[in-house]
Amino acid sequence: MTVRDKKDSRRNEIIDAALQVFSRKDYQDATISEITKLAGISEATLYEYFEGKEDLLFAIPGKITDESIEFVQQILPFIRGVEGKIRALVQKYLTVCQENPEYTSLVMLQLKTNIKFRSTEAFEIIRKGARILLNCIKEGIRDGTLRSDTDPYLTRAMILGTIEHICTRWRLMGGPADVSSYTDRIVDSVLHGTMALRDDRDISMHIRFGDEKEITLRRDDGNTAGNDSGDHKP
């Protein structure tokens, strides 16, 4: 292991310890000594990596989010279709929250309302993840998967807002037990009103003219055909 690898490993150990401490008590009540004791280091060592408690707090979401973005960027090129990509992104958001409950509590309950956090490098990493989702929505508008009048920013806000609501409720109230199971319901509910109608969709209409005749009109691949399903009466 190189010197750089050792420093990165130690930094991550400090972040993991801080996450556990911050998740057990409010940020204001947590102390540097508690974090260093859990990490098995001295306070002097901690200050070699972080300026203080707030700097450490802001570093936590950057680590986990950066790892998630790296994973997403590796798999998205192999997923066909915009809807599939959006579904994969929502699944990843929910899975990260499910597998990292302390992280979810910290971000949703403490950092979201911290104005200073918005000027940090970690917040920019979170925005990077949100831009990936936005770009997928814009791609869907360009290729006709989504309606041309779809507002990509509003659609993204609806998706992320729903995810935040579900995850916040999960941490505050203990349910739902499996937040990742909401993937299809979130995507289907939000995209239902934005999906473009396809000309190649089969549409059938059954028309009865009194008691005399019934015909079926079917549009298949853009073509209209009539089918006489009744007999003429004399």
SS3 state of residue 138? helix
Q: For the chain, give every domain's residue range.
A: 80-191, 201-234
Mean per-residue pLDDT over the chain, rounded: 83
How much is the average pLDDT of 7-11? 89
- pLDDT at residue 164, rounded to an integer: 93
For the stretch 170-209, pLDDT in tens is: 988 888 889 999 999 999 999 887 777 655 444 444 445 5
Q: By percentage, how much of the chain surpasses pLDDT 90?
A: 50
Of the candidate CATH numbers 2.30.42.10, 1.10.357.10, 3.40.50.2300, 1.10.287.130, the domain formed by 80-191 belongs to 1.10.357.10
pLDDT at 140 over 50: yes
Q: Is the pLDDT of residue 20 over 50?
A: yes
* Statement: residue 112 has pLDDT above 70: yes
**Confidence class for position 13, pLDDT limits 50, 70, 90:** very high
Q: What is the pLDDT of residue 225?
A: 45
E strand map for 127-211: 203-209
What is the secondary structure of 49-104 as a DSSP string? H-SSHHHHHHHHHHHHHHHHHHHHHHHGGGS-SHHHHHHHHHHHHHHHHHH-HHHH
> In angstroms, what is the C-alpha Rg of the chain?
26
Both tokens of residue 111?
């950092």
pLDDT at 109: 80
Return the structure tokens found at 153. 């920013």
